[in-house]
Amino acid sequence: MLSARTAAASPAASLWKRAGGEGGSGNGNGNNGCTSCREVRRRAAVVTVRATPPRRVEAVAMESAAAEIAEAEAEAVAMESAVAEAETAEEEAEKEVAAAGGGVEDKYGEDRATEELPVTPWAFSVASGYTLLRDPHHNKGLAFTEKERDAHYLRGLLPPGVVSQDLQVKKIMHNLRQYKVPLQRYVAMMDLQERNERLFYKLLIDNVEELLPVVYTPTVGEACQKYGSIFRRPQGLYVSLRDKGKVLEVLRNWPERNIQVIVVTDGERILGLGDLGCQGMGIPVGKLSLYTALGGVRPSACLPITIDVGTNNEQLLNDEFYIGLRQRRATGEEYHELMEEFMGAVKQIYGEKVLIQFEDFANHNAFDLLAKYSQSHLVFNDDIQGTASVVLAGLLSSLKIVGGNLAEHTYLFLGAGEAGTGIAELIALEISKQTDNPIEECRKRIWLADSKGLIVSSRRDSLQPFKKSWAHEHEPVTTLLDAVKSLKPTVLIGTSGVGKAFTKEVIEAMASFNEKPVIFSLSNPTSHSECTAEEAYRWTKGRAVFASGSPFDPVVYDEKTYVPGQANNAYIFPGLGLGVVISGAIRVHEDMLLAASETLAEQATQENFAKGSIFPPFANIRKISALIAASVAAKAYELGLATRLPRPRDLEKYAESCMYTPVYRSYR
């Protein structure tokens, strides 16, 4: 559909006005252009029958009638041409978006570069009155000025008081802090997002350290489990097996065309909670909120999608409030045909430069999808690549405390799924880059253990394909404690999803042969963490270099306060996404992930280390994201993967200028 702005500027609109349509010089009765055109023809026909007997008068009348008929026919041809243009406008717009890779027009006034410019609150027409108050893109609540209230018919629809956006933020934070249950805060935040988009992001940006655990882990896990009960309004697109053969039509139902980032899940492995089916939608919604708040990607350019192929969760299938397909999960050919259609439809409607982030797919699909589409689409798997990038940054940062380089350390993972193997591979790549040794040689410093014990060469034939690279020569070991005692790792990383797997005996063993043992307990949510921060510090007598996947409160041990770092993917993926967008990259390369890790590691300071954290504070995340975006974009240009030319001279400043800002705009 044409936007109001496009329609107003089109040739059809000017003809419509000349023909007597609203806003033109006609009679103002609201007739449309086609009716006015018919009226011209009718008058011309009437003129032809008003002939008088005198030949001279008849000749003059006939000439006049002929001229009017010719003029009317010319206008009719012009009208038909304009109508044809209007009918094809949407198709042409889609082609332009595909060619531009998501588009760059800032039609909502979302970027920092347009922050001071007044905007017109367009919807399908200029939003005003009650409609404007119900439009989350443009609603400002009590912050509408007196002038705006007059211009947009808001008198009487709002109380007379005018308040600032900062005061609105203060009031909502006060209200949120009254809730004792985290899920209540989550629901309140989602309601705000649906009511006043800019205020939601202003609130999140200004209070990111307090609200990040509300809109994402750990609270989002509970939200997904209860998504059917708390569901109010759709916040993304649902593509189900029922839509097979019609996926392109489903995508066209989304109101925005300039999409730059898609986060998609099939809900099979939500955090450490398992198969939540359609209710996994909370994950794409939460991730994209962070793309905007932390990375500055426009909310109008973000699209959350859930692929619903059923669920094997019996509790959900029997839940009367479940909102997804009530059937067992589709697999094999049926599943892959739907994914193939989906990926093709995305590329057709949004172009090849839209970033597709796979999120919380089960291992058997996650690796296959990433391998299959990484050569034909701009794809990224946050569980495999994003987690790996932020953990590598944490390791690079921890070296400033424990000393040495990556190649001098020994790594042991508990957990050999998407996260574990993804982290291990990126560590090996970084070691290879630093030492110029083959990747196969670098993998030998890294050991993985799964539910059956240490992954060793004697198990190779029974291993899944993505685990085989990590099967090294060693006698079989069945317990984590025995693996720690045998290998004597300097770094212990947990990605198992098994709570309390790092027992006191395991951590004390790590501390027995390491002055500063590096212990990363990365599983989410908090209840699935391999150990708590308090346990890691207490069992190592305060010597651990600790990081976790979920947030932990500061720990006081031996009169010293430790502030544990959180290896949160939100350090990486927002900046990575912004870098991809501003460079117009057509693929995500592993060197771009390494660049993001190195940039993040550089932001940790001695002040952070003194408090026990190897990551910089989240309060600086927007600046960090801009730096990461600049590094990623620079690597994209270096690798020849960037298409947005010419390359900006200062990528950091360019990234900052492209970042979404949530401050209210002034309306004309």
What's the pLDDT score for residue 134?
94
- Return the sign of the alpha-carbon dihedral for residues 355, 353, 250, 197: positive
Question: What pLDDT score was predicted for residue 128?
Answer: 86
According to the model, what pLDDT value does residue 68 have? 62
Is 130 an active-site residue? no
- Condensed to tens digits (0 to 9), the pLDDT of residues 522-551 reads 998 888 999 999 999 999 999 999 999 988
- Residues 373 and 395 grouped into a single domain: no
Q: List the CATH number of the domain containing 346.
A: 3.40.50.10380
Residue ending a domain, choose from 536, 567, 598:
567
pLDDT at 73: 65
- Confirm if 392 and 491 have CB atoms less than 8 A apart: no
Of 537, 567, 597, the position where a domain reaches its end is 567
Q: How many domains does the chain have?
A: 3
One domain for residues 243 and 329:
yes
| Angstrom distance (rounded) from CA 649 to CA 643 | 15
Residues 481 and 622 in one domain: no
**Binding-site residue set:** 269, 359-360, 383, 524, 568
Q: Are residues 528 and 408 in the same domain?
A: yes
Give the full edge-to-edge strand order of the sheet including 261-265.
237-240, 302-308, 261-265, 355-358, 379-381
92 falls within a domain:
no
Mean pLDDT of 417-426: 95
What pLDDT does residue 34 have?
44
Terminal Cα-to-Cα distance of the chain (whole angstroms): 24
- Quick one: pLDDT band at residue 32, thresholds 50, 70, 90? very low
| Selected residue with higher pLDDT from 62 and 15 | 62
| pLDDT > 70? residue 167 | yes
pLDDT of residue 92: 53
With tokens 């990747």, the residue in question is 439
pLDDT > 70? residue 75: no
pLDDT score at 108: 73
Q: In this structure, what CATH number is given to the domain that contains residue 422?
A: 3.40.50.720
pLDDT band at 127 (very low <50, low <70, confident <90, very high): confident
Q: Which residues are annotated as a binding site for a divalent metal cation?
A: 359-360, 383
Residue 158 lies in a domain: no
The alpha carbon dihedral of 120, 258, 287, 245 has a sign of positive
- Tell me which residue of 446, 420, 418, 414 sits closest to 432, measured CA to CA: 446
Average pLDDT over residues 643-657: 96
Does residue 350 carry a catalytic annotation? no
User: What average pLDDT is seen over the chain?
Assistant: 87
Confidence of residue 82 (pLDDT cuts 50, 70, 90): low
**Per-residue pLDDT at 469 exceeds 90:** yes
Q: Is the same domain home to 241 and 306?
A: yes
The answer to whether residue 211 sits within a structural domain is: no
Which structural domain range is residue 339 located in? Answer: 216-381
Residues at the annotated binding site for (S)-malate? 269, 524, 568
Residue 297: inside a domain: yes
Which of 322, 351, 381 corresponds to the end of one domain? Answer: 381
- 420 and 283 both lie in a single domain: no
CA distance 611 to 262: 37
So what's the pLDDT on residue 550?
85
**Res. 632 pLDDT band, cuts 50 70 90:** very high
Confidence bin at 114 (pLDDT 50/70/90): confident
Catalytic residue among 108, 186, 216, 637: 216
pLDDT at 46: 43
What is the band of 444 on the pLDDT scale with cuts at 50, 70, 90?
Answer: very high
Nearest to residue 291, comparing CAs of 585, 576, 522? 576
Looking at residues 17-35, what average pLDDT do you find? Answer: 40
Q: pLDDT by residue (tens digit) across 33-52? A: 344 444 444 444 444 444 44
Per-residue pLDDT, 571 = 97
Same domain, 494 and 531: yes
pLDDT of 311 strictly over 80 = yes
pLDDT of residue 89: 57
State whether 423 and 367 are in the same domain.
no
Q: Quick one: average pLDDT of 438-450?
A: 97
| Tens-place pLDDT, residues 404-416 | 999 999 999 999 9
Q: Which two tokens stand for residue 252?
A: 């066209």
Set 287, 347, 353, 635: catalytic member: 287
Instruction: Put residue 517 in one of left, alpha, beta given phi > 0 → left and psi -120 to 50 → alpha.
Output: beta
Range 410-430 average pLDDT: 96
**Residue among 110, 92, 94, 3 nearest 581 (CA):** 110
Neighbours of 96 (CB within 10 A): 14
Of 145 and 116, the structure prediction assigns the larger pLDDT to: 145
